[in-house]
Structure 1
Amino acid sequence: MEAVLTAAVALLDEAGQSALTFRALAARLGTGVGTIYWYVSSKDELLDRATDHAVGAILTAVEEQPLSDDPIADLREMAITLFDAMMDRPWLAAYFMRNTDVQGHSLRLYEKLGQQTLRLDLTPRQRFHAVSAIVGVVVGTAADLGAELPQEVLSGEMNRVEYLSRYAETWRKLDAAQFPFVHEIADDFAEHDDRDQFLAALELTLAGLRLQAETP
């Protein structure tokens, strides 16, 4: 199973979900397709197990991080570790926590995040909502940023900055009375850094959590 999952992750890393077929995996392993079915019953199971295999390394990195006196700061470090790993593997966000019956590493990582909220004065529902919000920011942002690039960028017709600047220029030409917000953020949109945008969203989420935990 270890060899099968390692090869599956390699195929996903190279070309995404579409590249992971039983035929391609069998060819990578130098075996027959029937052998793959000995380990997994479907492509969905293969994707879930490959995801969990990749999450194993993330879990190890999170478990090795020393805890501080501030659980929210520790949550921040764990969330950033998960996000960076998902940016390295754009396919990962789509399958994370999809099936915890077979994704044991994913469930343990979720538990690790949740345990930090046990160090805060929150109700069980608040803890659940807090971890859901953090995971949502991480996975949602990673999935959005990992989406297939526009054709203009893929073809080399323009780079990312040029692509964003094109839209920003269109926004600047809109009626400022109807679109005051879009006018104000057009320059920042054209030049924004994706990771900085994620960190800002994470900080907003954690600031809300800190406020909730400190409110009697």
Structure 2
Amino acid sequence: MAPVTKRTQRRTDGLSKELIVRAAADLLDAGGESALTLRALVTRLSTGYGAIYHHVANKDDLLAAATDDIVAGVMTGVVVEGDPAEGLRAVALGLFDAIDAHPWVGAQLSREPWRPALLDVYESVGSLLDALGVPEGALFDAAGALVNYILGVAGQNTANTRHLAEGDADRSAFLGAVAARWSRLDPARYPFVHRAATHLREHDDREQFLSGIDIFLAGIATLR
């Protein structure tokens, strides 16, 4: 660790953890986890290592704090009033959009499921399901299934987007090529996939995600 100079110490007094975490999030958004280094953070904030270590222990601590900050922003930004089903849709869509905008968030949540961020998600989803009248005996499983769906689909969506970006491929062209291959399959062996080819080409990932939430809520209604 670099020694804390007088210049660094003076900057520590004016450098908050919130500022450090937001700068870390900017680095993560720009280049992924590999872009988040203490050297890059020190350069971005025009400070010394001592000022950073005054607030965070290491890179893992930074990544976790940045994840908590993004998810907390989603949870505080969602206004849940009236119909709890609409509240669940709002929470789910907020998380989907946040993970789409910050792909590293999904990876971090799956890596450290005990983080406060994920606890807040479970609390919100569980409370809304409880308000929907889900029986106590099914509440734990229902909350777990819905949170897993939200994070799983959001994470897969970002993985697909990253794969297309790395291959410099256009989404419409890629889906069109896959749909063309599916349409040439033997309809006797793959009847569903053959029919699905017509929907794959033009489908919207966000709308499909929300359709999944509606299907889940329809199932929940049978438990009341």
Which range, TM-score by smaller chain?
A: 0.7 to 0.9
Contact kept, 8 Å, 2:24 with 2:66, in 1: the verdict is: yes
Aligned to 2:107: 94
| Pair 205,9 (structure 1): closer, same or farther in 2 beyond 3 Å | same
Instruction: Provide the C-alpha distance between the structure 2 equivalents of 1:154 and 1:55, rounded to a whole number of angstroms.
Output: 26
Residue 118 of structure 1 aligns to a residue whose secondary structure is helix
Q: What is the number of residues matched between the two proteins?
A: 207
* Root mean square deviation of aligned Cα: 2.2
Answering whether residue 38 of structure 2 is matched by residue 22 of structure 1, we say: yes
Contact kept, 8 Å, 2:88 with 2:125, in 1: the verdict is: yes
Residue 174 (structure 1) aligned to one of 162, 180, 185: 185
Unaligned runs of 5+ in 2: 1-16
| Equivalent position amino acid for 1:170 in 2 | R
Residue 54 of structure 2 aligns to a residue whose secondary structure is helix
Instruction: Provide the C-alpha distance between the structure 2 equivalents of 1:140 and 1:200, rounded to a whole number of angstroms.
Output: 15
Give per-residue Cα distances to partners, 1:5-36, cap 9 Å, x unaligned.
01111111222222111211111111233443
Residue 113 (structure 1) aligned to one of 113, 125, 129: 125
% identity of equivalent residues: 39
Instruction: Provide the C-alpha distance between the structure 2 equivalents of 1:178 and 1:100, rounded to a whole number of angstroms.
Output: 40
Matches within 5 A, 1:45-124: 45-62=61-78, 65-68=79-82, 70-96=83-109, 98-99=111-112, 103-124=115-136
Contact kept, 8 Å, 1:97 with 1:106, in 2: the verdict is: no
| Equivalent position amino acid for 2:122 in 1 | Y
| Pair 80,17 (structure 1): closer, same or farther in 2 beyond 3 Å | same
Deviation (angstroms), 1:37:
3.0
Matches within 5 A, 1:125-204: 125-147=137-159, 149-150=162-163, 154=166, 156=168, 158-204=169-215
Deviation (angstroms), 1:56:
2.2
Instruction: Provide the C-alpha distance between the structure 2 equivalents of 1:29 and 1:82, rounded to a whole number of angstroms.
Output: 28
Instruction: Provide the C-alpha distance between the structure 1 equivalents of 2:201 and 2:69, rounded to a whole number of angstroms.
Output: 37
| Equivalent position amino acid for 1:184 in 2 | R
Deviation (angstroms), 1:125:
4.3
Aligned to 1:37: 53
| Pair 4,125 (structure 1): closer, same or farther in 2 beyond 3 Å | farther
Contact kept, 8 Å, 1:91 with 1:146, in 2: the verdict is: no
Instruction: Provide the C-alpha distance between the structure 2 equivalents of 1:96 and 1:160, rounded to a whole number of angstroms.
Output: 26
Larger Rg belongs to: 2
Contact kept, 8 Å, 2:157 with 2:205, in 1: the verdict is: yes
Q: Normalising to structure 2: TM-score of the pair?
A: 0.82
Instruction: Provide the C-alpha distance between the structure 2 equivalents of 1:133 and 1:167, rounded to a whole number of angstroms.
Output: 29
| Equivalent position amino acid for 1:25 in 2 | L
| Pair 98,210 (structure 1): closer, same or farther in 2 beyond 3 Å | farther
Instruction: Provide the C-alpha distance between the structure 1 equivalents of 2:24 and 2:54, rounded to a whole number of angstroms.
Output: 15
Unaligned runs of 5+ in 1: none
